[in-house]
């Protein structure tokens, strides 16, 4: 009995490292803590949080984005929503010190120049090449910082990019072009987000193709919204 109590206490204290086989929580458990998290979090993500031992938003300040992404049911949208809610409280997901760069997302940056300036020279050079490639593929997009990451925005966000310990990440996952999906398959990481190794030549041409696809999709989505607004409403 004492051993069982000790195990349960350890899982509550350190849920991600002490419980390698996470199970989905029951709907009753999820409902009990739902009010403690942002309203935009879907049920699969909430169940994943409960199964991992998280019952309050503030607890997430002790884990990294990579750790959250490993939870079954936790997607990029849920992570972005959780991070934004933490930011409103003056908190954020845990980041590793810049020296180790396991999760290299400098905080407090207001533009892409500031973001890039906080990295070692070799990483800065790679980030600038990626930035220029995106700019060439999306000349009408604006540079922004969103969720503490560099991003390019046209009608909506086209892509995010960020430096990590061993790779450059590009988000969101690619869809809508089978040939391009096949071309990027070897770089696919958790949830389909792309990871370009820093110890390999950066596939700038491929990144350019990805951005051009995102521009096309963004324009189509914006056009569809405009068309919907101009269509006369059907009378009942």
CATH classification of the domain holding 116: 3.90.1150.200
> Could you tell me which residues are beta bridge partners of residue 171?
160
Residues 124 and 160 in one domain: yes
Nearest to 66 by CA among 32, 29, 95: 95
* pLDDT for res 21: 41
Residues 126 and 17 in one domain: no
Distance CA 158, CA 32 (A): 37
In a domain, 67, yes or no: yes
In a domain, 106, yes or no: no
Domain final residue pick, 88, 120, 151? 88
Q: Average of pLDDT values for 94-105?
A: 47
Q: From its phi and psi, is residue 73 left (phi > 0), alpha (psi between -120 and 50) or beta?
A: left
In a domain, 104, yes or no: no
pLDDT digits (tens, 9 = 90+) for 6-39: 444 333 334 444 444 444 445 666 777 788 888 8
> Could you tell me which residues are beta bridge partners of residue 98?
none
Residues 121 and 172 in one domain: yes
In a domain, 130, yes or no: yes
Residues 119 and 187 in one domain: yes
In a domain, 236, yes or no: no
Q: At what angle do helices 121-137 and 204-230 cross, to 10 degrees?
A: 40
Residues 133 and 174 in one domain: yes
Residues 13 and 70 in one domain: yes
* pLDDT for res 36: 86
User: What domain count does the chain have?
Assistant: 2
Residues 127 and 226 in one domain: yes
In a domain, 63, yes or no: yes
Decide if pLDDT at 230 tops 50. Answer: yes
Nearest to 130 by CA among 168, 177, 176, 182: 168
In a domain, 107, yes or no: no
Residues 80 and 142 in one domain: no
pLDDT digits (tens, 9 = 90+) for 158-212: 999 999 988 999 999 999 999 999 999 999 987 788 999 999 999 999 999 999 9
In a domain, 117, yes or no: yes
Domain coverage including residue 37: 2-88
């Amino acid at each position: 009995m004492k051993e069982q109590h000790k195990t349960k206490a350890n899982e509550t204290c350190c849920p991600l490292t002490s419980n390698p086989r996470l199970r989905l929580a029951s709907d009753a458990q999820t409902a009990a803590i739902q009010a403690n998290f942002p309203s935009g979090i879907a049920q699969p993500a909430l169940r994943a949080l409960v199964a991992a031992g998280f019952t309050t938003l503030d607890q997430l300040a002790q884990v990294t984005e990579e750790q959250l992404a490993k939870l079954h049911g936790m997607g990029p949208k849920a992570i972005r929503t959780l991070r934004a809610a933490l930011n409103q409280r003056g908190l954020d997901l845990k980041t590793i010190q810049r020296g180790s760069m396991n999760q290299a997302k400098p905080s407090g940056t207001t533009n892409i120049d500031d973001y890039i300036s906080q990295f070692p020279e070799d990483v800065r050079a790679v980030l600038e090449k990626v930035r220029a490639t995106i700019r060439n593929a999306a000349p009408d997009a604006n540079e922004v910082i969103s969720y503490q990451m560099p991003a390019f925005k046209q009608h909506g966000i086209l892509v995010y990019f960020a430096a990590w310990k061993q790779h450059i990440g590009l988000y969101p996952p690619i869809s809508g072009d089978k040939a391009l999906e096949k071309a990027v398959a070897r770089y696919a990481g958790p949830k389909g987000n792309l990871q370009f190794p820093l110890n390999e030549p950066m596939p700038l041409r491929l990144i350019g193709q990805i951005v051009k696809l995102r521009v096309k999709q963004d324009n189509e989505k914006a056009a569809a919204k405009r068309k919907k607004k101009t269509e006369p409403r059907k009378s009942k």
